[in-house]
Amino acid sequence: MPNERLRDALMRNGLALDQVAKAVNVDPKTVERWITKGRLPYPKHRHKIAAMTREPESYLWPQAIDPERKAESAVAEVVRVFPHRNAIPAELWDRLIDEAEHNVDILVHAGLFLVERPTFVKDLARKAKAGATIRLLFGDPDCDSVALRSEEEQLGEGTLAARIRNALAFYRPLQDVDGVDMRFHHTTLYNSIFRFDDEMIVNTHVYGFQGAHAPSLYLRRLSAGDLFDTYSESVEAAWTRSRPATF
């Protein structure tokens, strides 16, 4: 079976077969077989290609990582657990935002707390202009899932929808910035997810509690782990079912 994940990763990074072959010291036809026939490279080659594509080994070759190692790596990906999102130090948010160079993905309902940081929107614009891909997913203020969450968090009818519209006013300057894409989702939001390159904050959602008072995980991606990628794939799933945000 072809390895479409590997093919896609190489294409996204502009890596030709002969470039990969030269980097790992094999014949280009060997690289081609890794893609078209799904052949499994030796570990030293997998590690090198994972680094070149900035993708974890477990994503490119899930069959190569035994379950026990995956479980151990998943534990190692958890850098810290915070009892509440508002317990996350401001310094950590500042560093994550400041150091992100390639990808910023944010999946929230409103995420108003982010724009309480005076330079947050300007930082996103600056990073997009430097070549980063910025994807912002907000809850659709007119959808049923937002109305239900407003009720479940005891916010009152229409409160969460109003918060989303309020947040969008802050993000309006990003509308025409190349590299920034803002969309509405209508999914059941089990977690708010904030990805900055290979680091991530996952704000879990607990029935009856507002997001600021729910636990959060600080994750750092490892090549052999799959916890980080589980949440990344959740963002992708929400993205595929989203629509352009309207202001």
Quick one: DSSP state of residue 25?
Answer: T
pLDDT value of position 59: 80
pLDDT value of position 110: 92
Tokens describing residue 61: 């070759």
C-alpha 70/C-alpha 61 separation (Å) is 12
pLDDT value of position 47: 86
Quick one: DSSP state of residue 125?
Answer: H
pLDDT value of position 211: 83
143 close to 186: Cβ distance less than 8 angstroms? yes
Strands of 52-151, DSSP E = 78-82, 103-107, 133-139
pLDDT value of position 71: 58
pLDDT tens, 194-234? 999 999 999 999 888 888 899 999 999 886 677 898 999 99
Place of tokens 């949440």: 231
Low pLDDT (below 50) residues in the chain: none
pLDDT value of position 207: 86
Tokens describing residue 74: 């998943």
pLDDT value of position 61: 84
pTM for the whole structure = 0.74
Catalogue all structural domains in the chain, each as residue range(s) with its CATH number.
4-64 (1.10.260.40), 73-244 (3.30.870.10)
pLDDT value of position 122: 95
pLDDT value of position 89: 94
